Structure 1
Amino acid sequence: MSPWRMTRWERGEPPPGIDTASDPGEPVTGADEPERRHEALVSVRLGPSAPGSHLVEYLRREPCAVAAWWIAADVDAVVRLSADSITVLHRAVADLRLRAGVEVAEANHILRALDLTRPTDPRTAKESPAWVGSAA
């Protein structure tokens, strides 16, 4: 069956061997799966008649949903989705639009994490003002 026609239950749970206790900023990888995972942050605005509880219940059953946050902005929530293939990730975003009562869903694909623990240029670290500290 084409991944575009798969329901969230047919996509199944994450593959065995995934470390779900890893740092939330890191892509989830397991011993027997490929190094590259496809992830997206999706900005969500609920429809006028859609309750927030409907979105929460939908995300609890969505295997691609990794995390979600309520946001005080033009959007109602931000959802982090993760999948083994870009096709399944696109389908998860489409399902969010179609089945979760979402009026607007804007996906931003994650390319890679930024390393905020060390400076890129050692000269820059010495010249930084005293108030500039590590993000870690």
Structure 2
Amino acid sequence: MAAAIASEYVGQSSSVIDNGNLLDDLVEHVRVGPSFLKYGRLAPVAWTAMLEPEVAEFLREEVLNGRDAIAEVIFDRAIERGELPADADSRTILHTALGLGLYERYLAGSSLVEATLRQVIAALIATPPRLAAPLAAEEA
């Protein structure tokens, strides 16, 4: 099942998205970039298999790590432009946006409205979650 789901994955773009700002980059990455948010040829029920631990591990290794690498370039560029602090938790920002899309598509049964996605991402950019300080620094 994991291989079937991975075969439906749209794949990585040959170029990293660059609209000049983080908000537009992330909206495009979530809405039209490589995504599990598209059903492909598999029946929607087949996608529930991604919640199985073995399938999830396979998908992390074969697909999601590549998607995170693309997003890392987008976030690094945003930090360089001063749109985010260096200690922003970019994975949480990305996964929150992607999780909202998955929830809307598969659980709520509706498409994620772009205006809503923009509001959520804008809020995360304005007040980003931060990476936890290392324990050694906290103890000092």
Question: For this structure pair, what is the TM-score category when the shorter chain's length is used for normalisation?
Answer: under 0.3
* Greater strand fraction, Structure 1 or Structure 2: 1
**TM-score between the two structures when normalised by the length of structure 2:** 0.27
* Greater helix fraction, Structure 1 or Structure 2: 2
**TM-score between the two structures when normalised by the length of structure 1:** 0.27
